[in-house]
Amino acid sequence: MSRSTTSTICTVVTAPRSAPGSTRPRSAAIHEARPSNAATTSEHGRANIARFHFLDPTARNFFVDWDAACHATVALLRAQAGREPHDRALRELIGELSTLRAKFRKHWAAHDVRIRHDGIKRLRHPEAGDLDLPLTGSASIQPSDA
């Protein structure tokens, strides 16, 4: 791995919570700043990790274990839906993914909820190869405004 790649990975891993792609607002389970495909972008122009997982064909290669990543994403999304049942954008996202992808419907029907997502994030980078990044965090650390 080149020095610049290592430096970039360290920057992403050690970036503060306010850095793009690593923020964890109340809607953290669904909004990220990494994917940029039009199919994965919300009407507000923000990339959406749940859409990326289920609607972008490149996601299957981006995640080393795509099935596990899908499961974790849906479980985090379900936790977020429980915390914010009146969030219209969240309900619309769940409806959209349920309509378009049987895989999402299967995971959603399992009723798994994940409050924390600890472990190893396994990603496949086109230049650096497979990356195992340690991950510790919660789906949401802010209380609801309601």
Q: Where are the chain's structural domains?
A: 3-135
pLDDT higher than threshold 50 for residue 26: no
Determine the pLDDT at residue 27: 43
- Residue from 55, 53, 50 nearest 39 by CA: 55
Q: Of the given ranges (37-41, 94-98, 104-108), which has the lowest mean pLDDT?
A: 37-41
* 5 alpha-carbon distance from chain centroid: 22
**Integer Cα distance of 48 and 32 in angstroms:** 5
Helices marked H in 41-130: 49-55, 59-62, 66-83, 88-100, 102-109
pTM, full prediction: 0.65
**Integer Cα distance of 23 and 31 in angstroms:** 9
Q: What is the mean pLDDT of residues 96-108?
A: 96
